[in-house]
Structure formats: structure tokens, C-alpha cells
Amino acid sequence: MRKNTANKILASALTLMTERGYNNVSVKEIALTAGVSEMTVFRHFDTKLGILQSLIRTYSYIPYFEHFFSHELTGHLTKDLQQIAHSYLAFMEKNKPIFLIAMQDRSILPELIDIISDNNTRQLQNLLADYFQKSIEQGHLKKEIDTAGQAIVFLTGLFGFFVSTAIWENHFLKDQQEIFVQHTVEAFLKGVQV
């Protein structure tokens, strides 16, 4: 029962914060929407920020990518990078509400961007940089590349695609994910592959 209550609180908070932003939603409103008392909300989460941090942990893509990088990579750079790109974009789409909350409240709650970045982006960057290092050792990538820098380059392109489609619903890129990923991976590999 305790987990169900926490999930109801999180679902209510996510819905309200996505619609109106973090700062414009009270714990009282979250409790009312979840059908619980404010005291129940505070028993599960010490603060409103605690609710948001729990949402970020719940929507983290890192456990998936840790498993993916350690068990599912084929060693075929093109296929691996395409799968990484598609998986990243799928998780970002799933996490779009968290992104939209962060964008709405970035001036009021600048630490929110850091929380998201620390929990997800930097960890994914490290996983990708390690993959690039192994690819260098296997002779697939140029020895002189900066693996951390190239991980940033690769992820930044994907993030830009996601932001463009998240903010503008009818953006010209909306139905172009497959072609975008294909060409992004091709162009990226031309710069780093042996």
C-alpha cells in the first residue's frame, strides 16, 4: 500500500508540475490530486523538492544504459551508436515532462538542471566515453580522439534533436528521427573512425 501511495503522489506531482511548473504547484494541490492528506505526502517525501528528486530518480535512464553498455553492445560501431541514439531519444521522450518542468523553472530552481545533469547526463557521457576508449583499444577509432569530448559531441546532437521536437510539437524534425540518427552516426564516425 505504501508504494501505491507514493506512486499516486508522484503521478499527481508530475502531471501538475508538467502543466504549471514546479514553483506554481503546492504540496496541498499534489495531495488533493493524489487523494491523500498533506501529512501523507510529507511522510513519503520530506519536501516538495524531495518529490521532484524522486521523480528524476524514477525516470532515470542510467540503469538501462548500464545494462546495455555492459551486455548488449555488439562491437559494430554503426549499429551500437544507432541503438544508443534511438534508446537515448526514446528515454528523453519518456522523460519529456521532467525536461519541461526543468525548463519552466530553470531561473527559480537552477539546481534542478544540476540534479538532472548529475543523475543522468554525466553518467551516460562516462559510459559512452568508456565505450569509445574500448573501441580505440580494439583499433576501431582514432587513438588521438578525446573520448569524453566526443561523448559530449554525440550526446549534444541527440539532445538538440530532442529539444527541438519537445518544445515545438509540429517541428519539421518531428517525423525525421530515423534519418537524423542515421546521418548523425555516419557523420560522427567519419570524424573518429580509423
Extents of the domains making up the chain: 2-56, 60-192
Least confident of 58-67, 69-78, 132-141, 145-154: 58-67
Taking the C-alpha atoms of residue 138 and residue 172, their distance in angstroms, rounded to an integer, is: 39
Nearest-angstrom CA–CA distance, 69 and 163: 24
The C-alpha torsion from 116 through 123 and 141 to 88, rounded to 10°, is -50
The mean pLDDT of the chain is 89
What is the rounded CA–CA span in Å between residue 140 and residue 137? 8
- Comparing 2-56 with 60-192, is the CATH topology the same? no
- Which pLDDT belongs to residue 110? 72
pLDDT at 172 over 70: yes
Instruction: Say what the pTM is.
Output: 0.82
Collapsing DSSP to helix, strand or coil, 177 comes out as helix
When pLDDT is cut at 50, 70 and 90, the band that residue 117 belongs to is: low
CATH 3.40.50.720 holds for 2-56: no
Would the pLDDT of 118 be above 70? no
Is the pLDDT at 116 greater than 70? The verdict is no
DSSP class per residue in 128-141: HHHHHHHHHHTTSB
Into which CATH architecture does domain 60-192 fall?
Answer: Orthogonal Bundle (1.10)
The amino acid at 93? E
Report the range of poorest mean pLDDT among 10-24, 49-63, 102-116, 159-173. Answer: 102-116
